[in-house]
Amino acid sequence: MTTETLSHVFEPHGTATDLFHCRDAEVLMSGPAGTGKSRACLEKLHMMALANPRMRGLIVRKTLASLGSTALVTWREHVAKEALEAGVVKWYGGSPQESPQYRYSNGSVITVGGMDKSTRIMSSEYDVCYVQEAIELTEEDWEAITTRLRNGKISFQQLMADTNPSVPTHWLKRRCDRGDTTFLNCRHQDNPTLYRDGKVTVAGEAYLGKLSKLTGVRRARLEKGLWVAAEGLVYDGYDPDIHLVDPFPIPDSWTRWWTVDFGYTNPFVLQCWAEDPDGRLYLYREIYYTRRLVEDHAKTILRQVRKCAECCDSNSPSHDCHTCEACQLVWTEPKPRAVICDHDAEDRATLERHLGMSTSPAKKSVSDGLQAGETRLKVAGDGKPRIFLMRDAVLERDAALDDAKRPTCTEEEIVGYVWDQKDGKQPKESPVKEDDHGMDAMRYMVAERDLGARPGIRWM
C-alpha cells in the first residue's frame, strides 16, 4: 500500500510566525492592508486540521456572503489548493442539518458561515475558529463564538482573527488593551510578496505606492495600521512602530519633568517625562483618571516616587508609611525640574500644597505647540525621533472611561487626535476639543523645551 505525499509550501514571516506559535485563547492580527493577515490565519487553520484528526474548525465573518469573495478565494486558490486537488479535502455544500464545510480525509472538518445566520454554526463545538475582519462583529458575536470552543481534539482551543484598524475606542481594541485578547501588530514587512530580505519588491513598490495615495483616516488605517477615529490626524507623523517603546530603566542622570492637565468630569492627566542627554523626551509614567480630587492624584504620584527610608516600626496592620509622620520618606528618582500645569489657579494651589512643590504655568500657544510636537515626531539624522511614549505608562486604567469607549491614556489619544473641520473651519486651524487631555499635557512638555526654555534650576 502506498501513501501519497501532499506537498504545500508556506513561509511565515514576522507576526505570521508569532501567530503559528501562539496558543493563547484569543489572538488578533491587526495592521495595514496587504500584510498577509488572512493568509496566515487560514494557513494555521489548515495545518491544524491536517495534523489533528477529527479536529473541528470554523471560518466565519459577519455575513456568509462576504466570505465567498474574500477568505474562501484565498483558501481555495492558495491555502488548500493541493489538498483539494488530491482529494484530501472535499467541499460539502451543506444541508438543512449541516452547514457548508470542508471535510478532510482524516475526519477533520472546517465549517464556514456568517454571524448573520448563525443558528447552525453556533449549534456545533469547535477547537479553533478564524474570524475574518473581526471589526465587523459585535462583542456579543465574539463572546458567543468563544462559548463554542470546547471540542477538545487538540491541546488548546483558540479564537484567532484578523482586521484592519478602526476607531481607537472600538470594543475589539479595548479587548486587546485589557489583555483579554493577544494583539499582533502586523507590518508590510511581514508579507514576502512585498518585502524580501528587508528590501521592497517590485510588487511591493506598486502596492505600497497605491496605499500612499490614500488620504485621511483611510491612509492612517490601511497604510500605517493606526486605530484612528476620523479624518485629519493632527500628529500624522506618529508611528507606533517607531514612537511606542517598551519600558526600560531610566538613568538618574536624566532630567525629569511633570506636566498636568486638570480635570474631574474629564480626565485629570499627570505625565512624567524623562529627557536624555541628547534632548529626547520619554513619557514613562502617567495618571489619566476621572472623578478624583487633585489631592488624591497628588498622593498617587508621590507613592510612585517615594519610599520609606526609616520606618517607625509600627506593628499596626493599617500602618501606612506614606501617611505616617514618624516615618522618613525619600525620593526613588530625581525630582522634576518643573511641574508644568494648566492655568487653573485653584487646582494649581491645591496640587502645590499636597506635592510640597511649586508649579509653573504652561505655555498655552496651541498652534506653535502642535508644530513643535510634529517636529519632534520626525526621525532625525541619528535615525531616531525626539519624543517617545512608553507602553503601559498609565498607572491605572479608568474603568468608567473604558466602559464609555473613550481613551484611557495618552497612547490611545494620539491616534484619534484630529483637526476640527466643522462649521467651515480651515484644516489644521484647531484640533477637536474632545479626548485631548493627554495631548494637551504632551503639548505643554514640548512647548516647555522647544518654545523657550526656563532657567536651569533643578529640584534636589
Q: Over the stretch 377-427, which tens digit does the pLDDT of each residue have?
A: 999 999 999 999 998 899 999 989 887 878 999 999 998 898 888 776 666
> What are the φ/ψ torsions at residue 115 (nearest 5 degrees)?
-75, -10
Q: If residue 142 lies in a helix (H) or strand (E), which one and from where to where?
A: helix 139-146
C-alpha cell at 361: 504655568
Q: Model confidence over 93-105: pLDDT tens digits?
A: 988 878 899 999 9
Q: 368 phi and psi, to 5 degrees?
A: -65, -40
Range in 120-124, 192-196, 341-345, 350-354 with the lowest mean pLDDT: 120-124
Which neighbouring-strand residues pair with 419?
431
Of the listed ranges 26-40, 61-75, 193-207, 428-442, the one predicted with least confidence? 61-75
pLDDT-derived band at 287 (thresholds 50, 70, 90) equals very high
* Predicted model pTM: 0.72
List, by residue range, all CATH 3.40.50.300 domains of the chain. Answer: 15-190
Q: 233 near 417, Cβ under 8 Å?
A: yes
Q: Is 267 helix (H, G, I), strand (E, B) or coil?
A: coil
Residue 427: predicted pLDDT: 65
| Range list for CATH 3.30.420.280 in the chain | 242-296+334-450
Q: Look at residue 458 in the predicted model and tell me its pLDDT.
A: 43
Q: Which CATH number fits domain 242-296+334-450: 3.40.640.10, 3.30.420.280, 3.60.21.10, 1.10.10.60?
A: 3.30.420.280
- In this predicted structure, what is the pLDDT of residue 62? 87
15-190 CATH choice from 2.120.10.70, 1.10.3470.10, 3.40.50.300, 3.40.50.720: 3.40.50.300
Return the closest-CA partner of residue 128 out of 113, 148, 144. 148
- Beta-carbon count within 10 A of 304 CB: 13
- Cell output for 194: 512585498
pLDDT at 175 over 70: yes
- Phi/psi of residue 255, each to 5°? -70, 140
* Residue 85 exposure: Cα atoms within 13 Å on the Cβ side: 13
